[in-house]
Structure 1
Amino acid sequence: MRPFLTAEWRYLVMLNYEVDPDVLRPLVPRGTELDTWQGRTFASMVGFRFLDTRVRGLSVPFHRHFDEVNLRFYVRHRGPEGWRRGVVFVKELVPRLAIASVARVLYNEPYVALPMRHVVEMTGAEAGAPGRLEYAWKAGGRWQHLAATTRGAPRASEPGSEAEFITEHYWGYTAQRDGGCAEYRVEHPRWSVWEVDNTALDIDVEGLYGARFVPFLRGQPSSAFVADGSAVAVYPGTRLSPGEGPPPAAETPRAA
């Protein structure tokens, strides 16, 4: 099958927060269940560069390179080959209205278009020099951001580690307007990660994600790291068969 979208995802700042599973269960798409690491349930704030973006092999002028910031959590679905580990997005921020509109129409993904900017200071970071990354967006009349400073050279995540759990998900799941669920495959090589010395998250949690996330995202992250990223391929979505798993407890919120 030919990919629907190809791109490079680079310099992923990943701030990971342990979240009460009861907060996430109403958002779990039909046919999936929450995925956990050592019995703990996580949501991640992720910011990264979306580069050389092509749809069906074609680049769209002024839409090849942009930032994305998202809040995501982790689910799994039993496929023919065994468990498929994937992500669900609570909300995805991008700077272009056309990108947000296409993603919402085709995948029902909760994209929102906002002014965005970034700082990428990673010269020498592959060899161990300190690096600095910041992804910012303007909402509610002010700039908000997430940021991290890297330490040392990137290394492959250890098998069974929290970093492996966060980075090695290769499926996306999206609740549909009729209560069903779409599944799509994301293909990329295994990522290496930098350790970080400092992180920052300045965000209007309630305004962006709702009051349920306030107690978790206003605290310190359980872990944080920066993934180097790679070329990725996103394949067309398919619907899970009706009746696969219990329905979600409530409808997934629509992006404003």
Structure 2
Amino acid sequence: MLRQQWLDLTFLHWALDPAEVAHFFPPGTRPDTFEGRTYVGLVPFRMTGTGFPHGPAVPVLGSFLETNIRLYSVDESGRRGVVFLSLDADRLAVVAAARTIFGLPYRWAQLTHTKVADQHTYTSVLRWPGAHATSTITVEIGPPVPSDPLTDFLTARWGLHTQRARRTWYLPNHHPVWSFRTAALRTFEIGGLFASVGLAEPTRPPDHLLHSSGLPATFALPIRM
């Protein structure tokens, strides 16, 4: 149905008690857990080359910056996925289309991404009515690192769960296996970003932090549950 390139991703994760976030999940899904804990992820990255299965990418609107806040789900059929609490993008037309067509919680924001040597900096200023949030994140990228069971749990996700028209849907995706590098947090300043989706702001460094240069991804047709 759709193809994209996900590039320059930084994955920041914090462990949570599943009961803290269970109310965010669509009917028929629940928090997925690893050793009794679930996780909330903050993922800034670049999206490029968005288009249909064949033909050129969508001009201009096919490339944009995004920062999302996400939880991890499993449904009654055992399919593991992602539940997005927010997807902030710097293209207003993309936000409008994604909200209308897929019912995903996209929001308009002013975003930047800069790379100097091995440092990546991501900034965001939310421009969504009724919500005020900012963030500045800088990470320094280190050597390649092999995956492990927790990393697989957080990133080997082949779809998302969402609620649309009073039904829960599963939107499958496909992509190669991730490759990761270590990342050290140099700047982490957030103002209201987690609060804007109904979560407490983090009071400690991430429990899990990695960076990926990216990969191509495709989406199949949604499945009604």
- Read off the aligned partner of 1:166 and give its amino acid letter: L
C-alpha root-mean-square deviation of aligned residues, in Å? 2.0
Rate the CA distance shift 1:103–1:190 in 2: closer, same or farther, 3 A: same
Rate the CA distance shift 1:109–1:49 in 2: closer, same or farther, 3 A: same
Give 1:177 shift: 4.3
Q: How does 1:6-85 map onto structure 2 within 5 Å? A: 6-57=3-54, 58-79=56-77, 83-85=78-80
For 2:170, the equivalent position in structure 1 comes to 183
For 2:87, the equivalent position in structure 1 comes to 92
Identity across matched positions, percent: 25
Give 1:196 shift: 1.5
For 1:221, the equivalent position in structure 2 comes to 206
**Counterpart Cα distance in 2 of 1:175 and 1:218:** 30
Write out the 4+ residue segments of structure 1 that deviate beyond 3 Å after TM superposition.
Answer: 55-58, 140-143
Q: How does 1:157-196 map onto structure 2 within 5 Å? A: 157-158=147-148, 160=149, 162-178=150-166, 180-196=167-183
- Looking at CA atoms only, which structure, 1 or 2, has the larger radius of gyration? 1
More displaced, 54-63 or 30-39? 54-63
**Counterpart Cα distance in 2 of 1:173 and 1:9:** 19
Give 1:20 shift: 2.7
Rate the CA distance shift 1:207–1:222 in 2: closer, same or farther, 3 A: closer
Q: How does 1:127-206 map onto structure 2 within 5 Å? A: 131-139=118-126, 144-152=135-143, 154-158=144-148, 160=149, 162-178=150-166, 180-205=167-192
Structure with the higher fraction of residues in strand conformation: 2
Find the residue that maps to 2:99 and give its secondary structure: helix
**Counterpart Cα distance in 1 of 2:132 and 2:185:** 26
- Read off the aligned partner of 1:146 and give its amino acid letter: I
TM-score, normalised with respect to structure 1: 0.79
TM-score, normalised with respect to structure 2: 0.89
**Counterpart Cα distance in 1 of 2:116 and 2:164:** 39
Higher relative contact order (CA 8 A, sep 6+): 1
Unpaired runs of at least 5, structure 2: none
Query: For residues 234-253 of structure 1, what are the alpha-carbon distances to aligned partners after superposition, in whole Å with 9 as ceiling and x for unaligned?
Result: 1121210xxxxxxxxxxxxx
Unpaired runs of at least 5, structure 1: 123-130, 241-256
For 1:102, the equivalent position in structure 2 comes to 97
